[in-house]
Structure 1
Amino acid sequence: MPRPKGSVYDGVACSIDGCPRPARKRGWCLRHYKAWERNGDPVAINDFFLRTPSQRFWGMVAPADANECWLWMGTKTVAGYGMFRRTTAHRFAYEDMIAPIPENLTLDHLCRTRGCVNPYHLDPCPREENARRARAAAAAV
């Protein structure tokens, strides 16, 4: 979308050395202005896409002790399960830290916290066993 005529920066290039983009705010182009908004530095490199999927994943988990729930801070389903890269976050965590999940098994949250991605709180089991445990936990409440 073109800038309105009469802008303070009409025809002025971004003030960051080597950047040919037009200045929009604070004398910077929008790319450098947004970097300044995010990081406090207009030339800070956004390394999000340079990190591995595992690094990006664990950056979205609330820090906690090994025996506590590790809560997912990213996108969640309506039911409260975390989502990451087109799979549930707890599945990604388990496969990243423990092992691949056999096709005929699901992961049961032993802690009963749907947003938990602590792989030591997850138990691979058949779907029927997972459902039985869920009913037993609901009846105990």
Structure 2
Amino acid sequence: MVNQFPHYPAVALCQKHLGSAHVESHMLLGSLKRKRQITKHVEYDQVEVDTIKERHDEIAKEMISRGYNHKSDLEDVSPHIKHLPKDILQKKANRGNVIHYLLYVKHCPECRKRFAIYLRRLIELGY
């Protein structure tokens, strides 16, 4: 299952989901290079096509900040998305669906804990 968890803060992903989101960025690029349709992944809020590279880079930055090795940059995806319908290219993931999926469907206690810490920090900073 492809899931980059768009709009979910990378800092709040547990180690397992951070790693899987990173690997899936590369899998998405591979699918796009082979001109595969990723429509269902977009419709289910698992990915935003126009932010695949940015999301990968955000995840990679978080991996490095946690002391993990990251040696696999992601190339620009824009040459590989021309076969996708315009509505798929422009669709934005629903933030609430993404958060609900990870915290309540996947039942990841570590992601819940990290998300609570993330929210507390935002509140302390006045956001």
TM-score calculated relative to the size of structure 1: 0.22
**Greater length-normalized contact order (CA 8 Å, ≥ 6 residues apart):** 2
Higher normalized helix content (fraction of residues): 2
Higher normalized strand content (fraction of residues): 1
Higher Cα Rg: structure 1 or 2? 1
TM-score calculated relative to the size of structure 2: 0.24
